[in-house]
């Protein structure tokens, strides 16, 4: 049984269709990478899965239950579907520890003591134990993004969404964040990543999806998509990526 099922999802902005009938299934422990040019619909699709955007047609199911039903509790869904943004989105007035423990305490009603214990375990796991009492502006970009990933993990989500999480980083910091994502894959976390890091997508993904103009034109194993794509638009996109030295 699929962990996540996306059926015929459409999303419109001011008469412009940003997503056009997206169908996708994600199995437990699978890593799916969304690739495509800016504006192809990758980020919008992630935001629809996390209910940050409402869809105009279709349905999204998590563990067999429709989360796009109007009766679904969005906060409960977001407790099971973690999301990490390109720009970190940490609360600047809160310490790292408070950023991480806020959702478990408010959404899952975990006690402060237990939430801090779990946060401490996650910080240790990703090499940030000494940053628990620091404020975000005292951290490097790579450290802030690692904290954002930890914050998303703190609710023990079934699914983790990552939206271009390395694009705002200095190139020297990209490796440390990609290392965290690799560790999460090794631990069995189910993830959907929107990324421009083609080499990383080829290395880490179980399934690669190519989007253009809000349409999922092609998807399959990385070796198929990157070495023998079937759709001419996929071939054209990857040729541009290759010429730019990104693959």
For 130-142, write each residue's pLDDT tens digit: 999 999 999 999 9
More confident residue, 27 or 243: 27
Domains in the chain: boundaries = 4-243
pLDDT band at 242 (very low <50, low <70, confident <90, very high): confident
Q: Which structure tokens are listed for 89? A: 């989105």
pTM of the predicted model as reported, rounded to 2 decimal places: 0.94
> Measured between alpha carbons, how far is 201 from 111 in angstroms, rounded to an integer?
38
Radius of gyration of the chain measured on its C-alpha atoms: 18
Q: Order across the sheet with 81-84: list the strands.
A: 81-84, 159-163, 191-194, 31-35, 207-212, 215-220
pLDDT band at 51 (very low <50, low <70, confident <90, very high): very high
Instruction: Answer yes or no: is pLDDT of 107 > 90.
Output: no
4-243 under CATH 3.40.50.300, yes or no? yes
Instruction: Answer yes or no: is pLDDT of 58 > 90.
Output: yes
Q: Which residue has the tokens 């422990």?
A: 29
Average pLDDT over the chain reads 94
């Amino acid at each position: 049984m699929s962990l996540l099922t996306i059926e015929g999802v459409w999303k419109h902005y001011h008469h412009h269709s940003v997503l056009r009938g997206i169908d996708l299934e994600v199995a437990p422990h699978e890593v799916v990478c969304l690739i495509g040019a800016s504006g192809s619909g990758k980020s919008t699709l992630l935001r629809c899965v996390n209910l940050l955007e409402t869809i105009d047609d279709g349905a999204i199911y998590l563990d067999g239950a429709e989360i796009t039903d109007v009766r679904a509790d969005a906060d409960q869904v977001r407790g099971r579907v973690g999301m990490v943004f390109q720009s970190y989105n940490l609360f600047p007035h809160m310490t790292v520890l408070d950023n991480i423990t806020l959702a478990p305490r408010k959404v899952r009603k975990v006690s402060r003591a237990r939430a801090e214990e779990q946060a401490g375990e996650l910080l240790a796991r990703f090499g940030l134990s000494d940053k628990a009492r620091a404020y975000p502006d005292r951290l490097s970009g790579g450290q802030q993004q690692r904290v954002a990933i930890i914050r998303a993990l703190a609710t023990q989500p079934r699914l983790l969404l990552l939206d271009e999480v390395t694009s705002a980083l200095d190139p020297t910091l990209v490796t440390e964040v990609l290392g965290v994502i690799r560790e999460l894959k090794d631990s069995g976390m189910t993830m959907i990543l929107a990324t421009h890091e083609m080499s990383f997508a080829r290395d880490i993904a179980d399934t690669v999806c190519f989007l253009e103009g809000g349409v999922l034109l092609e998807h399959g194993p990385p070796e198929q998509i990157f070495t023998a794509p079937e759709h001419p638009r996929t071939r054209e996109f990857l040729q541009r990526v290759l010429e730019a030295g990104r693959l």
